[in-house]
Each structure stands twice: as structure tokens, then as C-alpha cells.
Structure 1
């Protein structure tokens, strides 16, 4: 389990996170939502071990993230950041294969190929495998980076202990079909035992796919729990300043938000 306890992050006088508690559990999909500037990406970077909090701590299986060997940590958790800058003329397959780096010496070449092929298929970029990465559109590059993260967690080498996938706005720049496709893959990973955390702006997508929603406002947890408990009309208007009506989704028991 990835656990955050009383996280606080400061930059100068600005308090970006203030006493945030959160868990990413195996087999669970957690969506983090909130207005712009609420601290969502800062929280994900803390969970990933990219930045150290001013106070509080992040642990994986009870061990502080900072105490993990970097390669061992990379075998357990993969991160998809908001933006990835890569200008080298690598092919799509080569970019996705970069995700297998932590498994060198543990997985054989055949296992690496299977993990890469499965990731290309899951992200719907197999038909782009031989294309130069810089030549792709922004949405295509986003899907390739998603495939790289999937390849990092794939294969027999990652199966000995629970794995974790941290996604920062994974649907940004994607068309409608691929937004749902990416989140369906993430949901399937959670159903198979991976702990998934995704920062999402689409509240209806969060309601549709997540087991738990954590709503941030001004660096603090405003509400957390199942979608129906967090996404109430009063809560959404209080945090986002947008009145909504909550109706029943026609094909599920999940809430559906209609802006008024």
C-alpha cells in the first residue's frame, strides 16, 4: 500500500499541501479531483517520491519512499506525468521499451517483448510502433507514454508484489473514445490487483471509474469516499463554484453530474 500521512508541501510562503492523508490500495482505483491549483499534481509527485514534503511522510509497504532503492521502486510503481518532453527520434516501440529498464537482469528478452506488445495493444498504439515519436500528435504521444507506464508494470517480474500506477491527467489531449479507453484499462488493472491513482478533471469520468474519490481544495482534503458520497450537488458547488444536478447514470448506479 502507498500511504500518505499528514503531507505538507511549501514553496516559499505558499502552502501547496496542508495535512493531506491518502492511501492507494492494491485493487482499488482512487481518483483525485479539485479545482486548478488545489495541489493535485503536487500530491502525486509526493506519492511518486519526486518531491519531499516539508512534513508528513509517504510510505510504500510501510517503508518511506525515500528509503527505497530506485530500481526496486520502479518495478513496483509507474508514473505518467502531465507532460513528457522527448525530442529524440525514437520509434514508438523504443519509447515504450524504455519502461522495461527497471527489469533488466530480472526479466528475459521474451518477457520484455510480451510486456511491450501488450502495452502497445492496451494503449491502442500498436499500429504506430514503427513511427518516430516526435512526429506524433499530442494525443498519440500521450497514449505512447501511457503504454510506457503499462510496460513498466507488466510481465512476470512485476507480479511478485502489488504494483501501483500513478496517472496525472491521463486523459488530457485525448479524444472522447480514447479518454474512456485509457480509463477502462486503468480500471481493469485495478480489478486485477494494481493500485491505481488518477488525477482527473472530468467529474463524471471519476464517478464512473473510481472506487474512491479524494476532493482537494486549497491543498486540503475537502471530502473523500465513494463517488456518491463525495459528488453531491452541495459539495461540487462549494468547491468548484458550479451548480449541478446529480442524476442516476442510465446504465450504472454511479452518480452523473449535469451542470445547471
Structure 2
């Protein structure tokens, strides 16, 4: 079953009130139920704009957005979103940050807190439930942000470069952690990253975007079996696919 479908989606923005610049030009993509799909593209190609459209924060110039076969273009509150920064509220405890999206949805607080405490224990944050975010490391804050998205009642998760601000070792640890959590839960995920290794390690499929006006230049099926091994990046097939993606992005970034 298809969870998300974008149909010929385009978006233009006015520049100095005189003319419009087209950022997205006829984007067609889909995410199946329980599938992990990644978007790769040059900086400034409109990846975050795409998420704002999916989340209903802005309206497309043309095209349609469908969830579970129903058109939801321009509608808010239907997807779970994790931004580039953890974006935790410093005055709320860790567990209160985790349950925030469930509170907004009107779900019972006592049940949400039970879930939050259960999951915080699963991800190595037991004992931090009533601490405030300021005492947590960057990687720990990202885990809290991910749990907030995971426990949201919305089934589709949109993850916007969630590990981009982390150091290399913490990022690798978070990749393995996310892979382990996702393979146990199989939520539908649309993921943005600049990391080729991250895309190949995590994804079922990858969409490669062009420069603006942005189009999809290639859809890549990732053939590696699940569960994914932490040694996968050392395999010859992984290295070959990474090189192919690198060469493709280099061509796209140069306008070739």
C-alpha cells in the first residue's frame, strides 16, 4: 500500500515582488507502507521546501499530495516531522518533550507518559526522564527528538537531515541506532540527507534531485538485505553504489 504520493508537484516563489523563481518542477515520488525512502540532492535544491509542502506549511503552485490515497494538499498535522536541530523546549522535561505531539493530538497524558518512559529506557535514556534538555549531549537530544516523532500518532515520519549537526562518531552511532529502531517498528519514513553512506545504509529507495528548478533525475533501488550489518559500508557493492551516487551528484551539481 502507498502511504505518501506526490503528483507533479511544483513550487515557485516571488523574488522582490517582480518575478517568480521555480524551485520544484514536477516532482513525482511515493513512499510505501513501512518503507524507508531517502532524498539526495545538491544544497539549495528545495529538499526542505518539499517537506514544508508535505506538512501543509506552504501551498504548492501546482500538483497534489496524497496520504493513504486521499488528497491532503495544504492540510496540516498529518505527518510526524523531525527537523535538523533537536528543537526541544528547554522548560519541558525530557519525557514532556517526548509526549508533546501526542498532547497536541489530544491523547491521554498518563498513557503518553507511560509510553515515553518505556521508550526512553529502550534508547538508553533511563534516568533522564525528568531532566531538562540542557543536561543532554547533542546525540541524546536527537534521540529525544526522534522519539517525539516516533510516538506521534501520525504514521508518516519526515526526517530532515536529523544527524547533520553531529560530530562524525556520534553521527555513526545515531545511524546504527536509527537503523535498529526502524527495523523493529517499520514506520513509513521520508528522509533527507547529504550523506551518501547514510542514504545507502538506511534506505530501501533513494530519489536523486537536480539543481533548481528541481526535478527527480534518478530513482535508485537499494539492494542490500535487512537487517543491515554495521560492516555493510566495507562491502564492494556498497562502495560501488556510493561511487555511482557520488558521480551522479557531481554531474547534477555542476549542471551537467
Give the TM-score normalised by structure 2: 0.76
Question: Contact 1:171–1:182 (CA<8 Å) still a contact in 2?
Answer: no
1: CA distance, partners of 2:124 / 2:210: 34
2: CA distance, partners of 1:122 / 1:39: 35
Match of 2:95 among 93, 101, 106: 93
Matches within 5 A, 1:106-117: 107-117=107-117
Question: Contact 1:215–1:224 (CA<8 Å) still a contact in 2?
Answer: yes
Q: Which residue of 1 aligns with 2:26?
A: 19
2: CA distance, partners of 1:113 / 1:148: 11
- Stretches of structure 1 that go unaligned for 5 or more consecutive residues are 243-260
Q: Which residue of 2 aligns with 1:4?
A: 6
1: CA distance, partners of 2:217 / 2:13: 21
Question: Contact 2:56–2:73 (CA<8 Å) still a contact in 1?
Answer: yes
Matches within 5 A, 1:128-167: 128-153=128-153, 163-167=155-159
Q: Which residue of 2 aligns with 1:206?
A: 199
Compared CA separation, residues 118 and 82, structure 1 to 2 (3 A)? same
Q: Which residue of 2 aligns with 1:246?
A: none
Match of 1:240 among 237, 244, 250: 250
2: CA distance, partners of 1:122 / 1:64: 36
DSSP-derived class of the 2:152 partner: helix
Match of 2:164 among 165, 172, 178: 172
- How many corresponding residue pairs? 224
DSSP-derived class of the 2:85 partner: coil
2: CA distance, partners of 1:177 / 1:84: 16
Give per-residue Cα distances to partners, 1:17-67, cap 9 Å, x unaligned: 111111122111111112211221111222222221111111112322247
1: CA distance, partners of 2:86 / 2:198: 23
Compared CA separation, residues 197 and 124, structure 1 to 2 (3 A)? farther
Compared CA separation, residues 15 and 183, structure 1 to 2 (3 A)? farther
1: CA distance, partners of 2:98 / 2:46: 29
2: CA distance, partners of 1:135 / 1:148: 18
Compared CA separation, residues 235 and 200, structure 1 to 2 (3 A)? closer
What is the CA RMSD across the aligned residues, in angstroms? 2.7
Give, in angstroms, the shift of residue 142 of structure 1: 2.1
> Would you say 1:181 and 2:177 are equivalent positions?
yes
Question: Contact 1:123–1:146 (CA<8 Å) still a contact in 2?
Answer: no
2: CA distance, partners of 1:206 / 1:220: 19
Moved more, 8-17 or 19-28: 8-17
Give, in angstroms, the shift of residue 217 of structure 1: 1.5
Give the TM-score normalised by structure 1: 0.75
